[in-house]
Structure 1
Amino acid sequence: MHSTRAQRIRAVAVAAVAAGLLTGGVTAGTGNALAAAKPTSAQSKFYGTFQKRDGCPYLVTSRGTHYYLPGYTVGGNGGLYKKGGGFIAYPGWRIQANGTKYRKSGGTSLCATWGTHLRIKARSIYAR
């Protein structure tokens, strides 16, 4: 009986999504139907240690690649903090960042030692 209810809920959800796409979720003829169905970006897991240089937070992989962590700050004690103030790790601690990596070119930065061109847009970071 439980599986029948689950099947009905799933069928209603699929029908609602299909109806939304057909009736106005995507404008017909624009070619955006496939773009709307694709995930926007693949989330990845990045492992390394937290290091700070020039007051900037980095994830340093085992291969020595330095990824700047925008949106996170280094506190007065040298620790990694969320923008809202939650403590994550001290320098040298192993961390895992869940998000997407990207490259940003141009511009200047106070992070002169390792730069900020390699970045991880992290949705979450955990001490391991």
Structure 2
Amino acid sequence: MMNFECAFYGMRALLFGLPLAAISSWLIYKGMVVGGANNIDFVFPWGSIGISVFSVLFVVFVTMLYAISKIKRENIIDALRDDISCDLQILLLPAAEQFLNTSLLEQTDLDSLEHSQKNEG
């Protein structure tokens, strides 16, 4: 499943990247023609496109191998337990901060009230 997902990401990147590369190449050619290079012909850069396809697939493959090796070394139960505790911390942290801030404000209000009563009396 992980292999299929990584291959899917690589193909999706190529699906968007190859047309953009072809259009960019043609626009560079048109810019050169407008700039005064009238005696050159447009040649599609098949070699560069091939290197790009190979590089994308290679990077995806290496990333997949790294992820699979990391998953094999990690205990799934511990990872889920850590993930759940992290999620709980993320959910509970704002409430705890709000509670502490409210408690500090109430304590500050009480301290200022006591201080003003001492000054009046």
- Structure with more contact order per residue of length (Cα contacts < 8 Å, sep ≥ 6): 2
> Structure 1 or 2: larger strand share?
1
What TM-score do the two structures reach when normalised by structure 1?
0.27
Instruction: Give the greater-gyration-radius structure (CA).
Output: 2
> Structure 1 or 2: larger helix share?
2
What TM-score do the two structures reach when normalised by structure 2?
0.28
